[in-house]
Chains A and B, each alone.
Chain A
């Protein structure tokens, strides 16, 4: 992208707008972080001030009220199980679409399968909340974490399969042929040639799905009970009807966003590029 060095009023206005927006984004996030170390009196007396005493009391109360450690454990368990399944299932499907279907000299097969998964982009997840809930109820899977895991796999397959398939298409056919001459079968080729060369695509798929699944709220709320409460479901429970204990709520918010924020800081470029190419796929 070309950099314009010339001064212009439009550019100055744009500069001011960008700074103003940065402040608008920063202030609430700063507010929630400092509030998590303050008592309610201090929060309301001096909302934007630095905490007078760095108290961890709110964090201890989050643990007491909603068992945040357990909720984080549940979130980690469900997220990592779903991620592992997504990678295995979508890598296999992508391999079938990008590599095997072409050997069959039947390009329709690849196109149709890809279009089938592409349907997922047309269905907004929330629209399926009720039928997915009903399916759990009729199959006796309601409140079973395995069902939520399978739902997360299904709802993230479209992006994962299409992204990995386009990655695998870029791998030169010669590498496969060499392995074949060495006597490798299809699955050995997948395991030792295709997968290692798709590492970058798998990484992007994993990071994007981690953020999406860790942050998912409404399906976790409806499909699990208090025994398997995820951290996202736990946070709003800190809000009581009578009085807003904002120190408590903000400590909960900070706890829930730490894992995602760490991943974001480490993989920022990948997250942005992944979301860009992911959205273009649709």
Chain B
């Protein structure tokens, strides 16, 4: 009686081992590449941040948490935090609601909405260098921004946008926000399109206005997705500004357009403080985590509440 039972068990165990090996073979390469080039750099970042390390070929000295202490006394950190806060404000508080409104408008599927959608989404296909070079031309002294202002009779408003310390940061933010509005509008359009139409039909029968349907029905129903988009935008803005700043202003004039992520780049590759740059990197990561948790808290409430 024992025989067949144990051979079944053995067969089962054989199959289990075979499946386990198959699983490891399948998942192995991905786990390996991911660990080596994502997880290890993340760990190494913490290690590097405890060194005074000026340049790649130079000596490293262990300084413990000194680089973190410096974060609190470095006046440039404060400037960079202020500039990043302005950037975040525009991207989260201005771009997202406008994007949602335009997305709701697209979801009405009026004549020409397809073309409009293609136009709205086009900037999202541009690389950072392409977008930055386009905006170089927009902001030139005789570029199109000043050209359009002159056409509108606003000659006194014209500026050398990127070389003026009171406009350079806003010029960089403008270049980033320019395409972001349309990108989020199209994503919100796609999210709204998945909603059942009956909800809006019955609301309209009840006499709900366009504005009410947008903010009282459409918005709460995609609030979860709005939170996800907000999180994405937050992370991209926090860390992505470095490339626009690098290509458009290099943080200048002075420190007028210095953002936190560009400051990291500057410290690592321009002003030779690799160890310190990684303390800034960890500050960015912590800010990212805290922001994600906060956004989640703010947007995760039940529809019925």
Contacts and interface: CB of A to CB of B under 8 A. Distances in A.
A109 interface: yes
A95 B210 CA distance: 46
B200 interface: yes
B40 to A, nearest CB: 7
Given A32-B137, A93-B26, A253 B232 contact: no
A154 B34 CA distance: 5
Nearest to B104: A14
Interface stretch (A50-58, A169-177, A195-203, A274-282): A274-282
A28 interface: yes
A103 B204 CA distance: 50
A18 B120 CA distance: 9
Contacts of B231: 282
Q: Is the interface of A mostly helix, strand, loop or mixed?
A: helix
Contact of B122 (A29, A134, A217): A29
Interface string B60-79: 00000000000000000000
Interface string B117-153: 1111111011111101111111010111001100000
Interface string B23-54: 11111011101101111111011001000000
B122 to A, nearest CB: 6
A211 B108 contact: no
Residues of A in contact with B, size category: 35 or more
Given A44-B142, A130-B277, A155-B37, A264 B125 contact: yes
Interface in A91-137: 92-93, 95-97, 100-101, 103-104, 109, 113, 116-117, 119-120, 122-135, 137
B138 A154 contact: no
A25 B118 contact: no
Contacts of B134: 28-29, 31-32, 250, 253
B39 A119 contact: yes
B139 to A, nearest CB: 10
A31 B210 contact: no
B170 interface: no
A191 interface: no
A10 interface: yes
Given A89-B29, A130-B268, A246-B140, A109 B130 contact: no
B265 interface: yes
Contact of A93 (B30, B116, B185, B264): B30
Give the one of B191, B231, B235 with max A CB within 10 A.
B235
B203 to A, nearest CB: 8
B235 A217 contact: no
B38 A92 contact: no
A215 interface: yes
B38 A257 contact: no
Contacts of A214: 127
Given A135-B41, A252-B133, A280-B228, A14 B105 contact: yes
A130 B238 contact: no
Interface string A1-20: 11110101011001101100
A113 B197 CA distance: 38
B44 A103 contact: no
B209 A8 contact: yes
B108 A3 contact: yes
Contacts of A113: 27, 31
Contacts of A236: 129, 132-133, 247
B89 interface: no
B178 A25 contact: yes
B38 A120 contact: yes
A21 interface: yes
Interface in A237-282: 238-239, 244, 246, 249-250, 252-253, 256-257, 260-261, 264-265, 268, 271-273, 275-276, 279-280, 282
A35 B33 CA distance: 43
Contact of B23 (A18, A26, A101, A265): A101
Nearest to A233: B129
B140 A244 contact: yes
B239 A126 contact: yes
Contacts of B128: 215, 217-218, 232
Interface of B: 16, 19-20, 22-27, 29-31, 33-34, 36-42, 44-45, 48, 56, 98, 101-102, 104-110, 116-123, 125-130, 132-138, 140, 142-144, 147-148, 178-179, 181-182, 185-187, 190-193, 195, 197-201, 204, 209-211, 213-214, 225, 228-229, 231-232, 235-236, 238-240, 242-243, 246-247, 261, 264-265, 268-269, 274, 277-278, 281, 284-285, 288-289, 292
12 contacts: A1-B200, A24-B178, A25-B119, A29-B134, A124-B239, A124-B288, A125-B239, A131-B42, A218-B246, A235-B133, A244-B136, A260-B127
Given A89-B29, A272-B190, 14 more contacts: A18-B116, A25-B182, A28-B138, A93-B30, A116-B34, A117-B30, A125-B239, A126-B239, A130-B268, A134-B41, A135-B36, A217-B129, A253-B134, A279-B187
Top 3 A-B residue pairs of the complex, sorted by shortest distance between their CB atoms: A96-B26, A2-B200, A131-B41
